[in-house]
Chain A
Amino acid sequence: MRTPNRVAYWTKTRALMAATLTLWLIFFCLAIYYGAPSKGQGASQETLNGLFGSLSNSYVWGCILFFAASILISWFCGAQDRLDEGSTGASKRQGGKP
């Protein structure tokens, strides 16, 4: 038997999943649009005149993506944790099954 609480929890969980993946898709598209290198761009590490100047574009984009993914996953984890705690607390207060 589905209780309203459980339906709400499941709906919110799926909405959170969809929202997170949509945000990641936006990052993905941005990275492809702005960071996509052309085929001709080769390895740039022949000289080391200035550390930052020598870093390749894809490497910098890689780091940016890692940071974006970390922030997104922390956000997702935090929101899902609050959802779990909220739903568990609500079900305990009602004294029934979650």
Chain B
Amino acid sequence: MSLSSLDPHPSQYKGIPLALSLFALALFLLTGLLAVMEKAGVVVVLIEALMALLPLLVFAMVGILARTMKLTEFHWGGKNVPAGLTGITLAACFVGGSFFPLFLSLIFLPEYVSFPIILGWVSSLVLCAVLFASPLRKFGSATIPEFLGVRLQSNLVRLVASGLLVLVAVPLLCAEMLIGGQVLATSLGATATTGILLFAAVLLISVVLGGVSAAVWTQALQGVLMVFACLSPVILLVLDQLTAPLVVEGAEFTSVVGTSLNTQLAAIIDIENTSIGWFLTQGPYAGGLWPLIGTALFFAVGMASLPHLLSKFQGTESSSDSRRAAGYSLSFLLLLMVIGSAYFLLLADERLQSLLGPNALDQGSQSGLIAALIRSGIVAAALAASSALLMALSTSISRDLIETFALPKASLSQKIVLARLVVLGVCAFVTYLTYSQSLLFLDMLAFALSLAAATFFPALILSCWWSRFHATAAYSAMLAGILATVLYAIAVKSGSTGFWFGFPAEMGGLLAAFLSFTVGISLSYVTFSEDERHFHLASLLEQPDERDLTIDIPENSDKDKPEELIEIKT
């Protein structure tokens, strides 16, 4: 086994603040131009198409410009992503296209539904910061399965974890593509198929050449667009004041908020009609405290176990930066929640209504600049989450499966080509799944969270914080978790069993996580082999220093130099 530390190298993210500022300015100017065009009577279809397509063009261009031939940048983003940038991109991926409409319509949801969701979101980031951020970065692995494989010195653990990652990530990616594609199609007035294909094309272009490095750049820009979309009423008012600086006397908030846009947003993810909504409002314990606690715990554990979010902590410069990134992410989410909730309040301003037309709220909800802006925000959020999911999936398939088992002696250039081919293949496969809509992906969101909670959460906690935990216990715990989740879902759906603690079929992962913990802890006390190497690697977590256990070479090394490999015996 060889351990190596990457030499410090100049960050490719130095230009990010300037790029984000320029992008925000460009959006401001574009909005101003489109507002003038709207006033001048230009057809709405053109305005909506421009607002939808121009940001996508920028994302695709940035993805091409951020191309790289360095494996470290392709898989880790260079391992030097600043904490603040990681925080923004983590928040953008955390929200995604599935939660962004919820942020906007949060204050319209019944309190009994919105309260545990907020509690769960916040708790998941606290868990990430305290439990996972630092240990994950200390090992310097590219994927969660790789971290588990190296920490526990087992290729079998890596294989099992990689298979589970695919099971968790594919439905999530399909759901994000479905949401992004359909919203994009609405903006363009095209069919859903066209929207999905266009969305997939932009997604592919933005990551296939630059990998994680390009994904970080585009996700940061997408985060800016999400904030911009939430602030669009303010921006339109500012533009109106700049062009006609006469403050309307007596302007005040209208008494009734038009709800058609809210209805549109709620239709994207109708949380009240999902299994989570059923658990809260119609389940056996509905109305009591337990559904609130159960839902909050479900979101906390499920979101904290999602591999594409956890992999964000593996690309920072140090473990200290990883911890701090979770804090920045929390601040960004708070900002989104506040300005997202203010969106409808601002939309009801009389001045904005007079700016947009006599029935601005109702008209604006269906078409026009204000609707195009918010749809762009949703598409950007879906793209951010999709790029993180696509990279997590493809990196795991290329590194943890193909490179480990089929091509262990591939050269660096072969690995880069392989990584790109896998990105292409995964994107095509997921696009086909989304296009065919053979599964109800939106209904599978809760189940994917459930699977992540039952498999990754116990294995990661025990790997990070308990040196006795070994490989046999790890894959047994993960397999027990997934089996229990699936069996519970089947049993509940078929009526073979009642609702344990009131949990619907899709939320059984929270119960399975307890079983997974029990299996993992019990088996850890049984010694199956004399192999002590996993104890040695666990001891790395007990030191303040970071030792990147990497299978990539330093950037300034010769490309032909054989890379340093971690030998993992099965």
Contacts and interface: CB of A to CB of B under 8 A. Distances in A.
Interface of A: 2, 6-7, 9-10, 13-14, 17, 20-21, 24, 28, 31-32, 35-39, 41-49, 51, 54-59, 61-63, 65-67, 69-70, 72-74, 76-77, 80-81, 83-85, 87-88, 91, 98
B287 A48 contact: no
Contacts of A85: 544
Interface in B92-131: 106-112, 114-115, 118-119, 122-123, 125-127, 129-131
B448 interface: no
A75 to B, nearest CB: 10
B544 A59 contact: no
A73 to B, nearest CB: 4
Interface in B257-291: 257, 281, 286-287, 289
Contact of A41 (B110, B257, B338): B110
Contact of A45 (B108, B123, B289): B108
A62 B118 contact: yes
B382 interface: no
A88 B326 CA distance: 23
B338 A63 contact: yes
Interface of B: 106-112, 114-115, 118-119, 122-123, 125-127, 129-131, 134, 253-257, 281, 286-287, 289, 292-293, 296, 319-320, 323-324, 326-327, 330-331, 333-334, 337-338, 341, 344-345, 348, 465, 539, 541-545
Contact of A57 (B108, B109, B111): B111
A4 to B, nearest CB: 12
Nearest to A81: B320
Contacts of B543: 6, 9, 87, 98
A59 B106 contact: yes
Contact of B110 (A2, A14, A24, A42): A42
A41 B331 CA distance: 28
Given A43-B107, A69-B122, A9 B542 contact: yes
B542 A80 contact: no
Given A73-B130, A80-B320, 8 more contacts: A28-B296, A45-B344, A55-B107, A56-B111, A62-B106, A63-B337, A76-B129, A77-B320
A20 B127 CA distance: 10
Nearest to A67: B334
Contact of A58 (B114, B255, B465, B545): B114
B153 to A, nearest CB: 19
A66 B344 CA distance: 21
Nearest to A49: B255
Contact of A48 (B131, B326, B348): B348
B12 to A, nearest CB: 25
Contact of B545 (A2, A35, A66, A88): A88
A96 to B, nearest CB: 12
A46 B122 CA distance: 27
B542 A39 contact: no
Q: Among the interface residues B122, B134, B253, B327, which one has the most CB atoms of the partner chain A within 10 A?
A: B122
A48 B125 contact: no
Nearest to B280: A39
B107 A59 contact: yes
Contact of B254 (A17, A48, A51, A72): A48
B540 to A, nearest CB: 11
B380 to A, nearest CB: 22
A74 B327 CA distance: 7
A22 B345 CA distance: 37
B337 A66 contact: yes
Closest 10 CB pairs of A and B: A58-B115, A37-B111, A62-B118, A39-B287, A10-B542, A58-B111, A84-B544, A87-B544, A66-B334, A73-B327
A41 B110 CA distance: 6
B114 A62 contact: yes
Given A80-B323, A81-B320, A32 B348 contact: no
Contacts of B320: 77, 80-81, 84
A97 to B, nearest CB: 8
A55 to B, nearest CB: 7
Given A77-B324, A84-B544, A66 B293 contact: no
A38 B109 CA distance: 13
A61 B115 contact: yes
Contacts of A20: 126, 130
A31 B119 CA distance: 8
22 contacts: A9-B542, A17-B130, A21-B126, A35-B115, A37-B110, A42-B111, A43-B107, A43-B109, A43-B111, A47-B256, A48-B255, A56-B107, A58-B111, A59-B107, A63-B334, A70-B330, A73-B129, A73-B326, A76-B129, A77-B320, A87-B544, A88-B545
